[in-house]
Amino acid sequence: MGTNSLFVTTISFYPTCHFIHEARLKAKVKRRLRKNSSRDSGRGDSLSDNGDVVRSVVPPTSPKGKLLNRRSRMGKGRGLPKKGGAGGKGVWGSPGEVYDEDEVDVKDPNYDVEQENCVYETVVLPLDGETFEKTVTPIVQEYFEHGDANEVAELLAELNLGSMRGDVPMLAVSLALEAKASHRELTSRLLSKLCGRVLTAADVEASFHKLLKELPDLVLDTPGAPQMLGQFIARAVADNILPKSFIDGYKGRVDSEYARAALDRAAVLLRMSRWTGLRFDSLWGSGGGQRPVNQLIKEVNLLLKEFLLSGDTVEAERCLRELEVPHFHHEFVYEAVIMVLESKGDRTLQMILQLLKSLCASTVITVDQLRRGFERVYLDMADLSIDVPCAYSLLEQFVEQSFNAGVIDKKLRDLCPCRGRKRFISEGDGGRLKL
């Protein structure tokens, strides 16, 4: 009885072990298929009834080939990229696409109610003493070249001058004292233009007070600083940017002789303007190339006439330098030669020749300006000969003497035009020309 029962138990245990072994094999195969699924996904592997792996005959496809193939798997489309190339990872969108402003999310943990109505502005720090001089000095020096006061006003308005606003006229006048007369005229115009836009009348008045105090130091670099500052004060009073009581406020309170000289100069000029009608727009002279051409021509003619009366070559050279138009010296040469042709006298010819020789030797008139002046005369000889019949002979004489004096070269002498001589034919000569 005991033996039979043991046999039955053994027989019933054998099928169970067999099933467990088959399940382990199937699980092992499934794990292997799952592991290689990314590599062999397209090969069609499957399990048979007994657990063996059965491979299909479908040819493998390359994943790389699928990525490069842009054709729709549904058989639609033209093979173009999706969204015109504006889609995909790391793409901001198609070119020219405008995004709407993001609305503030109240539920955002970083949301702050106080920042909702904030206004951000650019803050420009005020200039200190050292930065002020480095910034404003190039602006004033460039203004001496172009003469556009509106541009200077715009540049200064962009700066935060702060307490240094009153030093702008002082710096401009200090630079003008060491510059030319035309630059001082430009400085007077600049102060008149800035007052009311960038500067106030109090700023201008405070600057001139400082300039009077610093005159002993300014005289070391510019000996004529007191007289020039007096002219600046008179011009500022005439332009209504400085009160008329400015000079009267210093009566009996001036200790410096330089300041007294400047105030006396300003008072004299203001009295002359009231009594004799002195024009302050020509207070600094008429130098610089900012004036019209017609005015420059009149001043050149006046200079030449004064030279013919005085015969002072040094004074004529000084006056020509003060015009400050070196690019216009060819007009001086042209007018000088025309004056020789119109005078018809040997005295004028010799004086103009002496003047041109002196100016060329001192390089006031360059070779290029001299050549251009003579060439302009050569071109206008046809018109000049109408008013001056003997213009050609006078020109030949002047050109020859200029060449002998070393004023012009041989090439410029040979360019001198000559009047064509007519040949007359007599009726009794049978059409032959007379020698």
Is 129-282 assigned to CATH 1.25.40.180? Answer: yes
| pLDDT higher than threshold 70 for residue 434 | no
| pLDDT higher than threshold 80 for residue 378 | yes
Confidence band (pLDDT; 50, 70, 90) for 336? Answer: very high
| pLDDT higher than threshold 80 for residue 114 | no
Q: Which two tokens stand for residue 306?
A: 């004064």
Q: Are 219 and 226 in contact (CB under 8 A)?
A: yes
Confidence band (pLDDT; 50, 70, 90) for 340? Answer: very high
Gap between the Cα atoms of 376 and 379, Å rounded: 5
Q: Which of 196, 201, 287, 212 is nearest to 236 (CA)?
A: 201
Q: Are 375 and 333 in contact (CB under 8 A)?
A: no
Q: Are 203 and 166 in contact (CB under 8 A)?
A: yes
The residue ranges of every structural domain in the chain are 129-282, 293-415
- Mean pLDDT along residues 201-216: 91
CB atoms within 10 A of CB 128: 11
End-to-end CA distance of the chain: 177
| pLDDT higher than threshold 70 for residue 333 | yes
Gap between the Cα atoms of 336 and 323, Å rounded: 16
Phi and psi at 408, nearest 5°, equal: -120, 165
Q: Are 156 and 194 in contact (CB under 8 A)?
A: yes
Domain 129-282 identical in fold to domain 293-415: yes
| pLDDT higher than threshold 80 for residue 2 | no
Mean pLDDT score of the chain, rounded to an integer? 79
Q: Which CATH architecture has domain 293-415?
A: Alpha Horseshoe (1.25)
pLDDT tens for each residue of 217-274:
999 988 889 999 999 999 899 888 998 888 888 877 888 899 999 999 888 888 887 7
| pLDDT higher than threshold 90 for residue 48 | no
Q: Which of 199, 208, 213 is nearest to 173 (CA)?
A: 208
pLDDT tens for each residue of 384-431:
888 888 889 899 999 999 999 999 999 999 998 887 554 444 455 555
- Mean pLDDT along residues 179-186: 85
| pLDDT higher than threshold 90 for residue 60 | no
